[in-house]
Amino acid sequence: MFTASDLNLGLYSPVGDITVMALCIIMGVFIKQAYIGSEKKRFRIIMLILVFILISAMANVGVQMMLKADTVRPLPIYIMRLTHHVLMISVIYLYIQYLREPLWVTPGTKKQYQIISLITVIIAVTTDIMATILKVGFYVGKNGEYRSTFDVFEIVYTLLMITVVYILIKYKSRLLARVFWGVMGSIIIANALLCIQMINRQVSYTTLSFFLPVVGIIFMFHSNPFNIDTGAVSSSFFTKEIEGNIEKGNEMLIMCCSMTDFERSLSMSPELKSEFYKFFRLNVKKGVLYSFPNERYVLTIVKKKQIDYEKLVEKMLSDFLESHSKFKIDYKIVIMETSKSILDVNDYYHLIEYSEMKMQQNTICRVTDEDIKEYYDKNYILSQLVDIAAKKDLSDPRVLVYCQPVYNISTGKYDTAEALMRLKLEKTGMVFPDQFIPLAEQFNLIHNLSMIILNKTCYTVRGFIEEGYYVKRVSVNFSAIDIRYDTFCDEVKNIIDQNGLEYDKIAVEITESRSEADFNLMKQRVIQLQDLGIKFYLDDFGTGYSNFERIMEIPFDIIKFDRSMLMESHRSSSSQYMVKTFANMFNDLRYAVLFEGVENDSDEDRCIMMKAQYLQGYKYSKPIPIEELRKFLSLTVNQ
């Protein structure tokens, strides 16, 4: 039995409860303003728990103050004490309810825990009230003395905490290890605090012991820097970790996996989540997993001498592919190591992006020194393309015009050609179209290159004509991006005019587009420029997308059959008949037909038999600098 005077000997201090009250208010405000979760129900549970702890702490302070008062009033004390206990027990009840979702407890089990927890709370409250009424529990006498034969609250608290620990251990496999130990650690510390308090006959930190586990779930499930479903840390830490390990001289293994619609699948499939956690526990011991945009996950592992990382990688890939066979989510995996060839820590992630661009779905890529060199070459090429576009110099020396002569079957001469684009850069030397055209189109830099090629082609063709060579025309390739410019026709006309060239000496080569908008624009541009005398070629007929109805709507002058059509004609007599029929149809409709990719006499004979008018390919010439075209041109001017 204790008396009110005992409390003045240090068994209770309001510091603990007042601190908890302040923390509850601060955390409530912070969470309300900065809450980033999407689970509104779980958010409401957290806020309700904080409110309950706040009111409970206030009630406990009230109880202790009234017990110290000169005049003791039992009824208010009983009410405040009961409020304190009911709210504390309710906090544990809500804590259990909160854990249901992250532990994805089944509906049946969830209902079972709800009922058991609720019945325990009701029994505890009822027993506490009855113990006071029967004067076998906490009781305050008229002279200010109080006593407690047994404390129902402590028994119920113990039972509920056992329930919490049981649930966590039972479903441990459904939580990431760091989350499990974070939550469990806060519970262990809270109970240790209660034990120390009991040993020292203290009652000052009871509310604080309830508050600590709540802090644990707030930080582990909401304010933590990693995704709770995957354990992936925010990508902002990625470069810092690499930079720090490079400074220490540590080598690192970096593995990236991009999976299509993975996060949605993970949230909807307990089986997938279980498989992921299993893979994570078995393979990711001391690594750090980072989450990047576009569902890209990057794992970093600091290498140690005693571990065979090649075997580690092989095991991880084997386990991953085994899991993939069950769920079949499309993926791309990139594996690399830190390297002195990589100049900037930010380039590690950019290298991953670059590698993925070249990969097919469901493939694995190991980044080599050659890949790193290619990446830096691409970056350098891109920087040069940006600079070319910024300078807008139509005579930029970095852009070279090559061409491939075209054989005219009816005259037996080379009186036309196709202009081709090359770059010659200081650090890389000659750069071919497959290296820079995709970059130029991706970053909307192709239009400036097209106009430079047109300008240089016009200038060179005018020079040939002034030298007495006969040039029927030279074609220049333009992309769908070029066609979209409102100024396209004016730019083409002005460049031809500035070079003092007749319009029919230039042809525009374009490839058919699937886009309805691009098709309509193309039709307008063709009609507008054809009125000036400029010829139009339809490039790459027979590859990808070919729509005869659309082709008939646009008055092309020449249809260029892709080499694949020529190869198809070699395959069988029926294939040859099909290609020949196409060629005859275009001839009958007054389109000229040009076959690309002619490499030998057999190809040439076949094309002539299929009534081609023009032939182009390595049989006649590989692409050459346009200045060398004069070797193929005739000086005869009367054609």
Which of the pair, 3 or 521, is modelled with greater confidence?
Answer: 521
Highest mean pLDDT among 218-222, 429-433, 632-636: 429-433
Residue 542 gets the label, from left (phi > 0), alpha (psi -120 to 50) or beta, of left
Average pLDDT over residues 485-490: 94
Strands 535-541, 558-561: pairing is: parallel
**Contact status, residue 512 vs residue 545, Cβ threshold 8 Å:** yes
Which phi and psi angles does 467 have, rounded to 5°? -80, -5
Using DSSP, state whether 410 is helix, strand or coil.
coil
394 pLDDT more than 60: yes
Both tokens assigned to 207:
């509310």
> What percentage of the chain reaches a pLDDT higher than 90?
35
Least confident of 100-109, 261-270, 433-442: 100-109
CATH of 233-367, one of 3.90.10.10, 3.40.50.10470, 3.30.70.270, 3.40.50.620: 3.30.70.270
426: number of Cβ within 10 Å: 8
pLDDT of res. 419: 97
Kindly report the CATH number that applies to the domain delimited by 392-631: 3.20.20.450
Q: Is the pLDDT of residue 159 over 60?
A: yes
Return the pLDDT at 5. 38
334 conformational bin, left if phi > 0, alpha if psi -120 to 50, beta if neither: beta
pLDDT at position 480: 87
Q: What is the pTM of this model?
A: 0.63
CATH architecture of 2-221: Up-down Bundle (1.20)
| pLDDT greater than 60 at residue 355 | yes
Could you tell me if 481 and 446 are in contact, meaning their C-beta atoms sit under 8 angstroms apart? yes
pLDDT of residue 97: 77
CA torsion angle for 542, 544, 546, 547 (degrees, to 10)? 160
For the cut 90, the answer to whether the pLDDT of residue 157 exceeds it is no
| Residue 4, pLDDT score | 38
Digit-coded pLDDT (tens) for 529-551? 989 999 999 888 877 555 666 67
Domain boundary assignment for the chain: 2-221, 233-367, 392-631
pLDDT of residue 495: 96
- CA dihedral 128→131→132→136, nearest 10 degrees, is -140
**Highest mean pLDDT (candidates 21-30, 190-199, 358-367, 453-462):** 453-462
Q: What is the chain's mean pLDDT, rounded? A: 83
* CA dist., res. 174 & res. 11, Å (int): 42
Task: State residue 24's pLDDT score.
Answer: 86
State CA 44 to chain mean position distance.
31
Task: Give the pLDDT of residue 310.
Answer: 87
Q: What single letter denotes the amino acid at residue 237?
A: F
CA distance readout (Å), 327 to 81, 82, 333, 632 = 55, 53, 16, 61
Range of weakest confidence among 35-39, 395-399, 503-507 = 35-39
- Using pLDDT thresholds of 50, 70 and 90, give the confidence band for residue 36: very low
